[in-house]
Amino acid sequence: MEKLTCKTCGCQSLQPMQVVLDDEDDDLSLLGGEQESRFYSCQVCGDNWLSVKEKTTDGACTITFVHQMGTAPVLKRIAHMDNAIVVETDNVDEWEYYVDEERVDESDWREELSDRRDLLRATCTN
């Protein structure tokens, strides 16, 4: 499996894992969407994120990214795309940024994420 470069520590150590979610989330099957989840985790500094791709009935899709699972508050962003086939950042119609369940500005969100990455970086160079 291909490895990606970690944005936090710069090592080529990010490995995506397919995640199988349990069936308790009935909402998704009701939408008729398909779901695909991946969990990316850095083996060096511990940075991680979860991506959940959901197709919607009109051929569009959303991808939800949850960064650094297990830390509070939850840093989450949602990409809205009008095309579920070509999933690239260029195709994102709109990004939504959340800290916990509260919608925030992109700049606030990025600041929060960058603070956390600084912290991880500091921990892993020690």
**Residues of this chain that bind Zn ion (CB under 5 A):** 6, 8-9, 42, 44-45, 47
> CA-CA distance, 80 to 100, in Å (whole number)?
19
Give 47 or 54: the residue with its C-beta nearer to Zn ion. 47
Beta carbon nearer to Zn ion, 57 or 125: 125
Nearer to Zn ion, 93 or 118 (CB): 118
Number of H helices, E strands in the chain: 2, 8
Give the other-Cβ count within 10 Å of 49's Cβ: 20
Question: Minimum distance between the CB of residue 53 and Zn ion, rounded to whole angstroms?
Answer: 23
